[in-house]
């Protein structure tokens, strides 16, 4: 018990140092797709999932929760975002004598778009596309029947037409179950890593970040070099603290409540409240996110449904969730719908 408390105190101090010199600034971080939650179950609960994480989706929300269930699992999640943007996610876990290992792959992609210029605003006839990719490996270990901890290493890549940037980041998370009414405390620090920077050679001389004020034609093309230094961009590091517990639980039903605080480097803190009710094999979920900037009211409601069925190959969960996108839905005439399929075997 003493060691568990020490771990919790140390981990709780991480965000204090990580955010010591940072404050919320909208639009100051890149790779925004890393903030797009996965798993319709978690989304239906308004992303108040850090302390709930007890299945394969923990690999995204809180790697400490991956070791809670002693089952190999897989998940596939698909989201249709406004403006024909699609987000696909896959993860799998494997239990060994040394702990639980996990793999995840995430890609945000869209259809090709026409290249437009000042002279050809209807398009030049050329096409371009952009995409974001994340590939990660996770290790999680249950140190006691109440405390578990996990860490994830991730490779990141963003591609925009012929330009791209590559980097890496880490996630760490923990879960502590008090043993009273399944009351659980969860903490997760996600996307902790160095700033990224595009390397662009506009003048084609094989060099980047040249001094644009030296007034020299370094590559002999008759033009003064224009490759000024590119500004670095942060990745959206965030810290989440959550508490969850059972309001009702018996052999055929349960009602879970979860509350969470999220602190992200490029936005104000958000507060999430979620619920999940199960009756037999059916699930109903709802929740609200508070201080969300996509809604004038600052409140984003969520709703979700789920179905659990046993098969020959394992237990399958099919979940769907709806998120009110506020003014984004008004602009693009649609809101976000998520579908995820999980299997434990």
Rounded-to-10 torsion of CA 308, 178, 136, 131: 70
Reported as a single tens digit per residue, the pLDDT across 167-200 is 999 999 999 999 899 999 999 999 999 988 766 6
SS3 333: coil
Predicted local distance difference test score (pLDDT) of residue 22 = 44
Q: What is the pTM of this model?
A: 0.81
Predicted local distance difference test score (pLDDT) of residue 74 = 96
**pLDDT (average), residues 301-305:** 92
| Residue 27 to residue 240: CA distance in whole angstroms | 20
Top-confidence residue, 33 or 246: 246
Top-confidence residue, 25 or 14: 25
Predicted local distance difference test score (pLDDT) of residue 212 = 56
Predicted local distance difference test score (pLDDT) of residue 300 = 84
Specify the fold of 2-197+236-344. Porin (2.40.160)
Predicted local distance difference test score (pLDDT) of residue 274 = 96
204: left (phi over 0), alpha (psi -120 to 50) or beta: left
* Cβ-Cβ contacts under 8 Å for 341 (sequence gap 6 or more): 75, 76, 77, 316, 317, 318, 319
* Cβ-Cβ contacts under 8 Å for 143 (sequence gap 6 or more): 3, 4, 7, 149
Burial class of residue 84, CB neighbours in 10 A (0-12, 13-18, 19+)? exposed
Domain spans of the chain, in order of start:
2-197+236-344, 200-231
């Amino acid at each position: 018990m003493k060691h568990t408390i020490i771990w919790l105190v140390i981990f709780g101090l991480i965000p204090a140092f990580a955010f010591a010199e940072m404050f919320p600034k909208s639009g100051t971080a890149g790779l925004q797709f890393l903030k797009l939650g996965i798993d319709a179950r978690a989304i239906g609960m308004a992303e108040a999932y850090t302390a709930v994480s007890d299945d394969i989706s923990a690999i995204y929300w809180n790697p400490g929760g991956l070791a809670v269930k002693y089952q190999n699992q897989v998940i596939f999640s698909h989201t249709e975002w406004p403006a024909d943007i699609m987000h696909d996610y896959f993860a799998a876990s494997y239990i060994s004598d040394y702990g639980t290992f996990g793999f995840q792959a995430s890609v945000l992609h869209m259809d090709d778009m026409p290249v437009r210029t000042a002279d050809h605003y209807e398009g030049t006839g050329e096409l371009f596309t952009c995409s974001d990719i994340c590939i990660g490996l996770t290790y999680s270990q249950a140190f006691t029947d109440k405390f578990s901890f996990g860490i994830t290493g991730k490779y990141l890549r963003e591609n925009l037409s012929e330009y791209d940037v590559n980097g890496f980041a880490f996630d760490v998370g923990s879960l502590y179950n008090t043993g009273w009414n399944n009351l659980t405390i969860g903490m997760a620090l996600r996307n902790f890593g160095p700033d990224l920077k595009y390397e662009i050679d506009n003048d084609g001389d094989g060099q980047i970040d040249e001094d644009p004020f030296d007034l020299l034609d370094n590559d002999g093309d008759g033009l003064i070099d224009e490759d000024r230094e590119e500004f670095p961009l942060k990745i959206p590091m965030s810290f989440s603290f959550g508490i969850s517990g059972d309001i009702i639980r018996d052999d055929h039903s349960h009602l879970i409540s979860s509350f969470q605080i999220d602190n992200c480097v490029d936005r104000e803190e958000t507060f999430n409240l979620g619920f999940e009710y199960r009756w037999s094999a059916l699930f109903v979920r709802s929740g609200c996110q508070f201080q969300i900037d996509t809604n004038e009211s600052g409140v984003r409601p969520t709703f979700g449904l789920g179905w659990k069925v046993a098969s020959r190959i394992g237990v399958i969960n099919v979940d769907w969730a709806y998120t009110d996108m506020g003014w984004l839905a008004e602009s693009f005439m649609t809101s976000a719908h998520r579908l995820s399929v999980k299997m434990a075997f």
